[in-house]
Structure 1
Amino acid sequence: MPSFLFATLDAGGNLAPALGIARELLRQGHRVRFLGHATQAAAVEAAGAEFLPYRCAATLDPAVPAPAHRQFAAMLNVFSDSGIGRDLVEEARREPPDVVVVDCLLLGAIEAAAKAGLPQVVLVHSFFAYFDGPFRHGPMGAALSLKRLPPRRVLGRADRVLVCADPLLDPAGSWDRVSWESDPDRVVWSGAVVDDVVPATAAGAPGTAAALPDGGSPLAELPDGGTPPRVLASLSTTAFPGQQEVLQKILDAASGLPVELIVTTGPAVDPASLSAPANASVRRYVDHSEIMPGCSAVICHGGHSTSMRALALGLPVMVLPMHPMMDQHMVGKAISNAGAGVLLSRKSSPDQIGAALTALLASESQRKAAAFIGARLRSAGGARTGAQVLADLAGLVSVAG
């Protein structure tokens, strides 16, 4: 059976699509190895894949708060890191895989794999319109070009570019693909990787009084004897400037509303630094796959992985982008344009957030749009489709060899 070697990085939600595809490959009997930052070992091994830590990689700890210019410099160092490329090529030579799969952010590793002649798939974990648009044209793309790693040229060296996004939400899904380099078939959409999602209507209707995994307090009862809708708020495991302030505004917005709010801070924010009203709880970590099925809405920063998981469950999404240079605004705008959520500024006041949340929970059209998109995301089988793209390329390589 073919074997696959993934190269990834600890950048938050970028790992989830790779793991979803890896689990499908393992289910089919293929061998899967991951090269990554040491902090990713537990997640990779829990998926059943082999994990190898980088030996020559630049350091990266996205959970440590830092000024914007230092965050930019740290990301640029990792994206262009030749050490990751050396580790990838050395591991591929030690035990040759049929195909290497490289995260689209690792431009240095993609270039190294191409120079070494390795059959390669670049895995895009969000909208292709972002990576071939604002990312390529913005400050990061300019900085990478100065390092002789212009994103479009580097991605164009891959045998395939696998986009783990819904082509109807991704603005690039409607682009004229002939205009992308010389091979319009190089870019392939698998759909969002949400194959493990069970729709909320099957797991328990949104707003039901499902207990928290850690035994959290029961839901407060409404005057009519019902229970308030549950809302999950999460603003990434990556530390962004102002993240604590936005989380506090979300908590303040929920005060007095007939909702139960669960806030997960991740490693970047200390839960003790936040003040929660009586109808809210703050935890550093709760498994979103266990909590989301009992929710009625999700508040997030527009990270592609969290946003698509919520939509796959048929949940409307409120997006407050935390970083102007990332894909978050584009994801939020796509959700808003599809009628399945609302896009707000991180500068919104608690009153504005509260009013938007109240309207979102009351909107039947938003729920129906989210349910419609969710059915499409689940039926696409992103992990299965992605695994098939990799297996097909491995078959072509085998025939050519």
Structure 2
Amino acid sequence: MARFVFVTWDGGGNRMPTIAIARALRRRGHDVLVLGHDSQAEAYRDAGLAFTAYASARGFVLESGPRGLLRLVFDHRMADDTVSLLVEHPADVVVVDCLLVGVLDTLDRMGRRYAVLEHTLHGFLVNGMRALGAIGWVRGVRVGTARSHATPIVVASVPDLVAPFAPQPPLSAHPGAVVYAGAMTAAVAAHPTEPTVVMSLSTFRFPDLVATWQRVLDAADALDARVVATLGPAVSVAELRVPRSVEVREWMPHHELLPSASVLVGHGGHGTTLAALAHGVPVLALPLDGASDQPRVGRAVARAGVGTTLSRRSDPAVIRAAILALLADTVVHERAQRLGEAVRAFDGPARAADVLEMSVVV
């Protein structure tokens, strides 16, 4: 039995990969502990995982723009809390969220064994980390060095959004190895019995979230399809005008909705987008945050021909036309179905657990 500590933060897209991989390791008999913000405690404990909160790091509050993210990336208190925890709870491998650069740098300087968990498109992060390099240098934090020493970098995604994928090398936990683990949600091929549109925007209350929801709901009015909207915790139905034809759910797991979906309307979040594509469901992305990976994910979807992307400020008539076009486009559906087959073949949590087990003995 090995001991793993996951170091994370209160982000939306990183929760499912962290939970899925941690649970896969637990099922194999390993000792797993998650360190994160106190606001995450309930979700991880409900998932059956041991959780402890940062002792001194500030609670995470999402802010628009890059300032809040930079504070998170370089927060030295998160690194201090991680080191303190490891004194009391030694680990064979520390699995660190890709955005916690300060934690990675500290562990690297100490010579501790760690892996990096990425929860978006790898290419987006590579470019982003290059940009962070100069800021990190000023702050005395090494961005690239810590990543190159990770054993390995586990990407909770796929190599591309076009199938078939290039052949993947054998699993490797050597420093700097990049391992695509695949999607972290259970998926099957979607077989809708009627045209069905699933709408699922962010669990974070971005500044334009309510207005975007209203435009999306207005677009769904009188749409000749079943429409299911999952609002999530960041917005209440009382804030919206909901057409009578739209089924509203406060929350519903993707694996319950997507097998019957024809199209997903989302915000370009990596986790939701990849979950839809894993089911073979085309995507309409309306990015809510220009500083995040959402626009990049939306462009990748459009470039791969498995959906399209629009501005979140698009007129409801434009959004409705895009939904109707996706519902009717058999070529897009065929591409999405092929991609879904390729994504499902990865068996994400098991593949991630395999390579993390390898990292214990490398």
Identify which range, 190-199 or 295-304, moves more after superposition: 190-199
2:18 alignment partner in structure 1: 18
Q: 1:137 to 1:97 in 2, by over 3 A?
A: closer
Query: Among residues 182, 189, 192, which one is paired with 2:182 in the alignment?
Result: 192
Structure 1 residues 185 and 77, CA, compared in 2 at 3 Å: closer, same or farther?
closer
Give secondary structure in 1 for the equivalent of 2:313: coil
CA displacement, residues 334-383 of structure 1 (integer Å, 9 cap, x when unaligned): 22222111111222111110000001011111111111111111101221
1:258-311 per-position Cα deviation (integer Å, ceiling 9, x unaligned) = 122222232222221110112113343222222222221111111111011111
Query: SS state of the match for residue 132, structure 1?
Result: helix
Mark the CA change 1:195 to 1:249 in structure 2 (over 3 Å): closer, same or farther: closer
- Corresponding letter in the other structure for 2:13: G
Q: Secondary structure at the match of 2:244?
A: coil
Give distance in 2, aligned partners of 1:299 and 1:316.
Answer: 9
RMSD: 2.3
The 5 Å alignment of 1:156-171 reads: 156-169=148-161
Q: How does 1:144-223 map to 2 (within 5 A)?
A: 144-149=136-141, 151-169=143-161, 186-194=176-184, 196-200=186-190, 205-206=191-192, 208=193
**Separation in structure 1 between the aligned mates of residue 312 and residue 130 of structure 2, nearest angstrom:** 24
Give the C-alpha shift of residue 143 in structure 1.
Answer: 4.4
Counterpart position of 2:93: 99
Aligned partners of 1:378, 1:262: CA distance in 2, in Å? 24
Equivalent residue, structure 1, for 2:248: 282
Question: Which of 86, 89, 106 matches 1:112?
Answer: 106
AA in 2 matched with 1:43: A
| Map of 1:246 onto structure 2 | 212
Output the amino acid matched with 1:191: A
Q: Which amino acid aligns with 1:118?
A: R
Deviation at 1:242, TM superposition (A): 1.1
**For 2:349, which of 383, 391, 396 is the aligned residue?**
383
Paired position in structure 2 for 1:136: 129
C-alpha deviation, 1:114, in angstroms = 1.5
**Contact 2:105/2:143, CA 8 A, preserved across alignment:** no
Gapped runs of 5+ residues in structure 2?
none
| Contact in 1 for aligned 2:278/2:340 (Cα 8 Å) | yes
C-alpha distance in 2, partners of 1:253/1:143?
Answer: 42
SS of the residue aligned with 1:268? Answer: coil
Deviations 1:7-51 (A, max 9, x none): 001110112112111121112111111001122222222333211
Letter in 2 for 1:260: R
Query: What is the 5 A alignment of 1:278-357?
Result: 278-357=244-323
Write the deviation string for residues 138-174 of structure 1: whole angstroms up to 9, x where unpaired. Answer: 5x6654444333532332242321122111239xx98
The one-letter amino acid paired with 2:107 is A
Map of 2:221 onto structure 1: 255
Aligned equivalents of 1:199 and 1:52: distance in 2? 37
- Runs of 4 or more consecutive aligned structure 1 residues displaced over 6 Å after TM superposition: none
Conserved? CA contact 2:117–2:155, under 8 Å = yes
**Which residue of the partner structure matches residue 324 of structure 2?**
358
**Structure 1 residues 317 and 274: alpha-carbon distance in aligned structure 2, compared to 1, 3 A threshold:** same
> Quick one: distance in 2 between partners of 1:291 and 1:156?
39
Cα displacement string for residues 74-110 of structure 1 (whole angstroms, at most 9, x for unaligned residues): 3222221111111111111212111000000111111
Contact (CA 8 Å) 1:136, 1:150: kept in 2 or not? Answer: no
Confirm or deny: 8 A CA contact 1:166 1:189 kept in the other structure.
no
Secondary structure in 1 matching 2:10: coil
- Indicate the larger mover: 289-298 or 350-359: 289-298
Name the SS of the counterpart of 2:248 in structure 1.
strand
SS of structure 1 residue aligned to 2:35 = strand
Gapped runs of 5+ residues in structure 1? 178-182, 209-227, 397-401
Q: Is the Cα–Cα contact under 8 Å of residues 150 and 175 in structure 2 kept in the other structure?
A: no
**Contact residue 8 and residue 35 of structure 1 kept, 8 A:** yes
Q: Distance in 1 between matches of 2:137 and 2:262?
A: 44
Counterparts of 2:89 and 2:149 in 1: how far apart (Å)?
A: 22
Aligned length: 355
Letter matched to residue 151 of structure 1: V
Map of 1:269 onto structure 2:
235
User: Conserved in 1, the CA contact under 8 Å of 2:150 and 2:177?
Assistant: no
C-alpha separation between the residues in 2 aligned to 1:303 and 1:91? 31
CA deviation digits over 1:166-197, x for unaligned, max 9?
A: 11239xx98xx9xxxxx996232233233522
Q: Distance in 2 between matches of 1:127 and 1:340?
A: 16
Aligned-partner residue type, residue 154 of structure 2: L
Match of 1:55 in 2: 55
Match of 1:75 among 63, 66, 69: 69
Equivalent residue number for residue 399 of structure 1: none
What is aligned with 2:6?
A: 6
Alignment deviations for residues 304-329 of structure 1 (CA, whole Å, 9 cap, x no partner): 11011111111111111111111112
